[in-house]
Amino acid sequence: MNIEKLDIIQVRQRYGFSDWRRELVQKLEQELAYIRLQVDELVVLIFGSFITDEPNPHDVDLFISFKPSKDCVADILRYGLDRLHPDVIDIQYRKLEYDLFSAEELVEYFNNNPLNFRQGISLDRVIELVDV
């Protein structure tokens, strides 16, 4: 498993090499800023075609772990995270388990999830977004 740690500036520099990709990074930044209003702690993994040389990835795939802020716990439990760009920022998270998990624990959970296993999906390479 390869977990690379990058901040958003490094992600923008490395993966924002086209107009569409720069737009995706901008929406990623907006989405994460909005999520930060709802949570006290956050771990973010980026995976999928966005972190390849694919010229036009459809979206940015994230797997996150968080501790909700006290003001948002009930709404997150009832409705999930409030989102800005669900059409292009695809976020997966462990619903109803709001303990903070490390990047390594998230990858292990994702790869051991029977639904992902049956679909042949695993995380072989991810970016842990630092300083979010």
Question: Token pair for residue 90?
Answer: 């695809």
Residue 90 has pLDDT above 70, yes or no: yes
Q: Comparing 77 with 26, which gets the higher pLDDT?
A: 26
The pLDDT tens digits for 51-61 are: 999 999 999 99
Alpha carbons 89 and 87: distance in angstroms, whole number: 6
Given pLDDT bands bounded at 50, 70 and 90, which one contains residue 96?
Answer: low
At 132 the pLDDT is 86
Q: Among candidates 9, 71, 63, 86, which has minimal Cα distance to 40?
A: 71
Rounded to an integer, what distance in angstroms lies between the CA atom of residue 15 and that of residue 50?
A: 7
Give residue limits of the domains in the chain.
2-129
Token match 């059409």: residue?
A: 87
- β-partners of residue 64 are 44, 93
Q: Is the pLDDT of residue 98 over 90?
A: no
Averaged confidence pLDDT in the chain: 93
Span 10-29, mean pLDDT? 97
Model confidence at 28, pLDDT cuts 50, 70, 90, reads very high
Q: Comparing 5-14, 51-60, 68-77, which segment has the lowest mean pLDDT?
A: 68-77
pLDDT class for 130, splitting at 50, 70, 90?
A: very high
